[in-house]
Amino acid sequence: MDFIQPASWADALAVKAEMPDAVPLAGGTDVMVELNFDARRPTALLDLTQVSELLRWEITDGWVRLGAGVSYTRIITELGGRLPGLAMAARTVGSPQIRNRGTVGGNLGTASPAGDAHPPLLAASAMIEAASATRTRMIRADDFYTGVKRNALKPEELIAAVHIPLPSGPEQFSKIGTRNAMVIAVAAFSLALHSDSRRVGTGIGSAAPTPRRAQQAEIFLAAALAEAGLWESRSQLPDSIAAEFGSLVQAAADPVDDVRGTAAYRLHALAVLARRTLAWAWHDYRRRMPGAKGA
């Protein structure tokens, strides 16, 4: 197996153009497991850890451009206040060692339905920047997940970065596992209240062949909040709205039975997660009342 370690982004893209089968390596927390279990035997590994361009994040025009190689630990410590939904998800990933090595670029590369970064990226309407030696294109998170552990990348492409709009309202993430830490999600859910545009964003994890949004639930909640004047009044959220939102999130899922849980349990869990995250987000939204303490 060849081991190639480019020192620049241009070199990395040139290698990928020449050797489309080369397997990119970021934190290695998925790739090395596959190699160790002999689940994968690539002809070449393309180590991206020396490519400094992937390790940067910056904010331009209200969007965070997060380099594909920024670790979960850095997302938590450096961006926790700016990207609360993604940071909440990052805090639940693996252990400190996994969070030090693991990256959102790697999570997207694996594209597991259970990957924890996906629900907050979907809820935030994030865009994935994919690059080849000849061009760069932006892929909506919605269009990125194409099947179980499959994504929209072409063989000659690498993920350069993820673009995430700075949130205008509260974000929440919640995950259920078979224990409290070091656990792959049995079901996960992310919610974003985009208060500037009066929209709602959602992301379902581990309860369908791919991470996906609950679009009917988004439409319902945005309309229900608008009809009742709740975006402006920030009054108490009626239980009936939360219950219907939970049911619609559940209806958007398509889970299977597996070693971690049954489809029936996942459906039940999702409705609970949806109602809970909505309650937390709404509480947060009410506290941010213009003029209120801490707003």
Ligand X SMILES: Cc1cc2nc3c(=O)[nH]c(=O)nc-3n(C[C@H](O)[C@H](O)[C@H](O)COP(=O)(O)OP(=O)(O)OC[C@H]3O[C@@H](n4cnc5c(N)ncnc54)[C@H](O)[C@@H]3O)c2cc1C
Residues that bind ligand X (CB under 6 A): 23-31, 33, 48, 68, 92-94, 98, 101-103, 105-107, 109-110, 115-116, 158-159, 182, 184
Smaller CB separation from ligand X, 28 or 209? 28
User: Minimum distance between the CB of residue 152 and ligand X, rounded to whole angstroms?
Assistant: 11
Q: Token digits for 168?
A: 């205008």
- Give the SS3 label for residue 145: strand
Q: Token digits for 276?
A: 């809970």
User: Minimum distance between the CB of residue 133 and ligand X, rounded to whole angstroms?
Assistant: 14
Smaller CB separation from ligand X, 3 or 226? 3
CB count within 10 Å of CB 27 equals 22
Q: Which residue has the tokens 């920030």?
A: 234
Smaller CB separation from ligand X, 132 or 224? 132
User: Minimum distance between the CB of residue 95 and ligand X, rounded to whole angstroms?
Assistant: 7
Q: Are 4 and 22 in contact (CB under 8 A)?
A: yes
Q: Token digits for 230?
A: 């709740």
Smaller CB separation from ligand X, 54 or 274? 54
Residues 6+ apart with CB under 8 A from 209: 113, 147, 148, 254
Smaller CB separation from ligand X, 211 or 246? 211
User: Minimum distance between the CB of residue 131 and ligand X, rounded to whole angstroms?
Assistant: 9
User: Minimum distance between the CB of residue 102 and ligand X, rounded to whole angstroms?
Assistant: 4
User: Exposed, middle or buried, 33 (CB in 10 Å: 0-12/13-18/19+)?
Assistant: exposed
